[in-house]
Amino acid sequence: MAVSLTLPTIQNWSCHNCGGCCRQHAIEITAEERQRILSQAWTEQDGTPTGNALFEWHAGPPWAKRYRLAHRDDGACVFLNEQGLCRIHAKFGESAKPLACRVYPYAFHPAGKKVTVSLRFSCPSVVANRGRTMSQNSDDIRQIARAVVPDGFEKMPPPQISVRERVDWPDTLRFVDAIDATLATPCIPISLKLQRTLFWLNLVDQARFEKLSGTRLREFLDLIRQAADDELPDVIHQPDADAKPSAIAGVQFRLLAAQYARKDTAAGRSSGWRGRWNLFRAATRFARGSGNVPALQTSFREVPFETLEQPFGFPSECEELWTRYFRVKVQGLHFCGAAYYDIPLVEGFQSLSLIFPATLWIARWLAASRDRKTLTPEDVAQALSIADHHHGYSPLFGTIGFRQRVRTLSQLGEIPKLINWYTRTATD
Ligand code: SF4
């Protein structure tokens, strides 16, 4: 099936064989893929387990088991070799791999008559913008799209705009273009771009659109975007520029940041009653926010919660990364609707914007774990790779509890405060 694609042309990517995805992701395979891998007849000489030991039964009853590729004790996929390469790819070619491995780090989302493409920033090469342009990758992307985009995707409904409002696809894409235009504003920091977008989306959340469509809708969006620019001309004159987030926001935010920071893979997940008890104890400590932060991954050390509230600054080199991150997610519709737990566009952007302070909080944790008091671009890049691993994929982020957390922070007007608080420097 020929699929018309919208590519994220501001992003470059090629795989650099770091093996990160082969350690971080649990790869679910179909019955057909399992048979194909069994027929490849892997032996111990290949450096892999053999037969059924290549797979893990992770869901489904005994008569309809669902399998994943097995992981070694060190967390790596059983097919990852010492050079960081996939053994299936090396021996039988790219097309012999499970589809989930071939798709990564791309994500495909229906957008009316087209399909829009996003990328996952859990891949360090995506974060670093390393590799070929999307035009150079376009033949590969088209081939993958043919395998993953379902027939009849054009009939999929657009995401709701707010809890009460839904418009047709062309108008939905006008909202998306308007968000992208605010994020593309030159010469202002990403913190201000996010706050302006949140400001005018708040007006969208209260508006009705049954009589506003096409050109009139675009004019309305231009008008409220201009109101946001006038209301928030720069970072210094924002009403919440120096305000510390409230105690309630602090609790909600730490729990949210902990969910972004945790390791949630087949290899890293705690299981059974002991695992659940450990998670409960860790959640209690995050809610309390005193003492030491429980180390959720090997990258972190236990450091005092209080340390992470100090001003660590914001590396200006990261402005480009953050603008690119948000624009790729927005252009790729990777924040609402079918790609994001069926959440309306306004709420989806509020949720997406919270990944910014959450990532900076995680970056502070990485820096403090290495006895530093300022952030480096490397801290921010690693933290984004950790946080985006979950975005739109961990079932936790679509739960009522997580959504309520985002709504509470939004209704209390705390998201802009959190954005300011975690970008401040020692002189603020
Ligand atoms: S994480 Fe990215 S660069 Fe590393 S192996 Fe996977 S796709 Fe390649």
Report domain extents, the chain: 1-25+104-155, 27-90, 157-428
CB 330 within 8 A of CB 339: no
Give the pTM.
0.93
What distance in angstroms lies between residue 406's CA and the mean position of ligand 1's atoms?
Answer: 30
Strands 5-6 and 114-119: parallel
Residue 268: its pLDDT value, please? 47
Q: What percentage of residues in the chain have a pLDDT greater than 90?
A: 78
pLDDT digit string, tens, across residues 70-111: 999 888 999 999 888 999 999 999 889 999 999 999 999 999
Tokens of 336: 């609402």
Q: List the residue whose alpha carbon is closest to atom 2 of ligand 1.
A: 123
Q: List the residue whose alpha carbon is closest to atom 4 of ligand 1.
A: 18
The minimum-distance atom of ligand 1 relative to the CA of 16 is 3
Residues with CB under 6 A from ligand 1: 15-21, 104-105, 123, 125
CA atoms of 117 and 216, how far apart (whole Å)? 28
Residue 270: its pLDDT value, please? 52
What distance in angstroms lies between residue 165's CA and the mean position of ligand 1's atoms?
Answer: 39
CB 348 within 8 A of CB 368: no
Residue 428: its pLDDT value, please? 52
Tokens of 301: 């050390």
Residuewise pLDDT in 10s, the chain (428 residues): 678 999 999 999 999 999 999 988 889 999 999 999 999 999 999 999 999 999 998 888 888 889 999 999 888 999 999 888 999 999 999 889 999 999 999 999 999 999 999 999 999 999 999 999 999 999 999 999 999 999 999 999 999 999 999 999 999 999 999 999 999 999 999 999 999 999 999 999 999 998 899 999 999 999 999 999 999 987 765 666 678 899 999 999 999 999 999 876 544 455 567 777 777 788 888 889 889 998 878 889 999 999 999 999 999 999 999 999 999 999 999 999 999 999 999 999 999 999 999 999 999 999 999 999 999 999 999 999 999 999 888 888 999 999 999 999 999 999 999 999 999 886 65
pLDDT digit string, tens, across residues 195-234: 999 999 999 999 999 889 999 999 999 999 999 999 998 7
The residues with which 110 forms a beta bridge, in sequence order, are 115
CA 97 to chain centre: 24
What distance in angstroms lies between residue 50's CA and the mean position of ligand 1's atoms?
Answer: 25
CA atoms of 117 and 105, how far apart (whole Å)? 10
Q: Which helix (H) or strand (E) holds 247?
A: helix 247-261
Helix/strand number for the chain, H first, E second: 16, 8
> Which of 104, 123, 140 to mutate to test ligand 1, by most ligand atoms within 8 A of the CB atom?
123
What distance in angstroms lies between residue 264's CA and the mean position of ligand 1's atoms?
Answer: 18
What distance in angstroms lies between residue 329's CA and the mean position of ligand 1's atoms?
Answer: 19
CA atoms of 180 and 159, how far apart (whole Å)? 17
Buried residues in 330-352 as b, exposed as e (16+ CB within 10 A): bbbbbbbbebbbebbbbbbbbbb
Residue 50: its pLDDT value, please? 93
Residue 265: its pLDDT value, please? 56
Give the type of residue at 319: E
What lies within 8 Å, CB to CB, of 318 at 6+ separation is 377, 380, 381
Q: In 3D, which of 333, 353, 355 has the Cα closest to residue 345?
A: 333
Provide the 3-class DSSP secondary structure of residue 291.
coil
> Which of 17, 101, 265 to mutate to test ligand 1, by most ligand atoms within 8 A of the CB atom?
17
Q: Which residue blocks in 267-399 are alpha helix, DSSP H?
A: 272-288, 319-331, 345-369, 377-388
Residue 267: its pLDDT value, please? 47
